[in-house]
Structure 1
């Protein structure tokens, strides 16, 4: 239900931004609003730790769950403060213009500084997603995601109506994320019967330290995996900005608007398997035949969605850019191929979310990140599709194949 809502609002959002600030302004908007995806701090292993805690803790007091929430909240509070401080300090020294490359505009330092503060505030509130995942209430997460897309479009539209520059549009997008995460924290707290907002606020107090539960054995490898995925899959815009220029960034971002929702849909379908497999690991495990059927189903879904984004992406992407630049078929085929290899890996990846599996994933993703980044820098000269080709090859060889072999060997 949220996929068409998010897709339509994102198309309208990009069309509005390009019409208001041009292709170069949209390149800045897309680059800055996706900077958080390049940070491994968006979860810090909270999802893995909370899912395991919920699967293991059947007591009435739920001390393990409460302790895990406090530990995760404290980590995210500290990470959010560090991100906000880093954004401000880099802006004071004029460093963001260098980071953004050719896409940078006057005032980019101030824009990213304000965006960093808003993102730092929203980070601990985003713990609600991990809580909802742990109790298998993913439908609430994705309804909030759809509402967030509509709110973001509304705030950006308001900023455009007020004649705000590119920086104002960027800050409107980050403000919407902060508001949605705050609402999500209230809803997640009601779902688990805990005052989640109050627990996040008091997680930094000294008294809360005694109630925390250890999560490092799950959080550390998860954070390494997230950081590696960020380097591999989320730095493409920065690489293109430095190697190919702002036009390539805009073309890539237009195509990614079709890949992103499709990837989110497949991830949404796979997330319930995380909690299911966590409970299965406490008992007899998952039969190999079931894992094979799930893998085939996700492969078929990835193929269908890939064909859809190739068929519709070229026409709709060019419309988003007001016809000023063309979104090519080569770009959409590259995105479709990346979507397919990621889809095939989802069931096996969900099966390997225990402590040993997370350590294995940390190794495979780290290797993939190195190969992917080097390949992206060289292939970016081909245009917007270059980094995606590097992602497909490195992901298939170093993540997909090892994960499938390990999962089917141990299922």
Structure 2
């Protein structure tokens, strides 16, 4: 049986050092249980994150009005719009640690992967921060935000750029925890970050603060959660990860090749950001600020519901890395059972959105803009098409599989963007959601299932 690969000895500095193998511990049983742990942690964290989002929306609408909430929603979801993700560095790190058999060569590869990924993300974070400052300083942020732009939007964009830039390299902590079967810890930290962000929104309301302070709350909370995840992963691995991440941009730091995984993942992140992150922008340019607010209220409920299922799927990545490394064939029976399970769970979650979503969203917006069941049904369909693809997507997580998924994601973006504008004009807030669901099903889910079940 494969042994767990936690690193237990501390390294003196970020540039060198030998690591000792940990005491043997069966890993297969923990990997079998880790999807359930992740699901449980996400389910426990959802009420916290959901309540924080709902109350934040209520407070922001009270203090800044409907237009202020539309701005708040756009700014705090900018990370989903950025065509970066983590540049595939998280996937490369997860893959490296999951495949680590404890040998010195494997340990060196893991550390080199961390250095390479952190270097990319530090540079990307600096670019994001600079972009936010330039957009705010030149006034071009008004083009980005469309009808949701307000006189205070420039400062909001500047603050968001800096916080998002700082958060990018810290996100490697969650990937490291997932690789050592502790993704549930990362999920609990994310929930704590949501609570901390809500606390900052409350403070902003009490101080009658600038809109930028409200926008900073959720982003700062997740930044703190990323730092905590990286610190806990460093302790579990016995590696100075915070120091390594910070020092990765220094000359002489030896990284390793990660682009065979990071490249396709970056394409997937970029196309996903364009497909899903532009929905508000399409509505902002084709409808009204009220439509953006309605969509945003529905999305506040959709995001945690969709994340519940995707969080349960991520631990499968490490399991399938080990199976491929051991020479195992495609687990078609297991994949079929998992697809059925995820589909059933998605139907339950989607039904809950349709039944409970409209009154909750109306409460968020004080009834100023009605949120109908059609929008929530569209979000439920989007959850379903993603859920049935989660298991096969995790199986197709080697380099060839990721390249295949990346090609489908590019096609998905073209189809979705072509459909979003006319559907937004015809159907309002539900239009871009339906466009995304149809594009994903046709361009990604169906081809991935065909490849996994026919070709392995």
Shorter-normalised TM range? over 0.9
- Unaligned 5+ residue runs, structure 2? 1-43
Partner of 2:34: none
* Bigger shift: residues 37-46 or 382-391: 37-46
In structure 1, the gaps of 5 or more residues are none
Q: What's the offset of the Cα at 1:60?
A: 4.5
Contact 2:330/2:452, CA 8 A, preserved across alignment:
no
* Pairing partner for 2:250 from 188, 198, 205: 205
Equivalences for residues 82-101 of structure 1 within 5 A = 82-101=127-146
State the match for 2:302 in structure 1: 259
Of 185, 196, 203, 1:151 maps to 196
Residue pairs, 1:364-379, within 5 angstroms: 364-379=408-423
Shift of residue 394, structure 1, vs aligned partner: 0.7
Secondary structure at the aligned position of 1:158 is classed as: helix
Deviates more, 1:129-138 or 1:358-367: 129-138
Kindly report which structure 2 residues correspond to 1:344-355, keeping only aligned pairs within 5 A, or say none.
344-355=388-399
- For residues 345 and 160 of structure 1, what CA distance do their matches in structure 2 show? 41
Cα deviations by residue, 1:132-173 (Å, 9 ceiling, x for unpaired):
122221101110111011111101110111001322201222
| Residue number in structure 2 paired with 1:139 | 184
Paired residue for 2:117?
72
Distance 1:17 1:88 in 2: 24
TM-score by length of 2: 0.88
CA contact (8 A) 1:47 1:133 kept: no
Given the alignment of the two structures, is residue 41 of structure 1 paired with residue 41 of structure 2, yes or no? Answer: no
CA offsets, 1:316-358, max 9 Å, x none?
1101111111110110111111111111110011111100001
> Could you tell me which of 385, 389, 392 is aligned with 2:430?
385
Aligned to 1:174: 219
How well do the aligned residues superpose, as a CA RMSD in angstroms?
A: 1.2
Q: In 2, Cα distance between the equivalents of 1:5 and 1:155?
A: 15
2: CA distance, partners of 1:90 / 1:5: 33
8 A contact 1:186–1:197 mirrored in 2: yes
Question: Does the Cα contact within 8 Å between 1:277 and 1:285 map onto a contact in 2?
Answer: no
The question of 1:318 aligning with 2:362 is answered yes
Q: Considering fraction of residues, name the structure with more helix.
A: 1
User: Aligned equivalents of 1:226 and 1:41: distance in 2?
Assistant: 6
Residue 400 (structure 1) aligns with? 445
Higher mean C-alpha displacement, 106-115 vs 303-312: 106-115
In 2, the alpha carbon distance for the partners of 1:158 and 1:179 equals 17
Q: Which residue of 1 aligns with 2:380?
A: 336
Match 2:342 to one of 274, 292, 298: 298
SS at match of 1:40: coil
**Runs of 4+ residues deviating >4 angstroms:** none
- 2:32 maps to none
2:43 is the counterpart of 1:20: no
In 1, the alpha carbon distance for the partners of 2:392 and 2:85 equals: 23
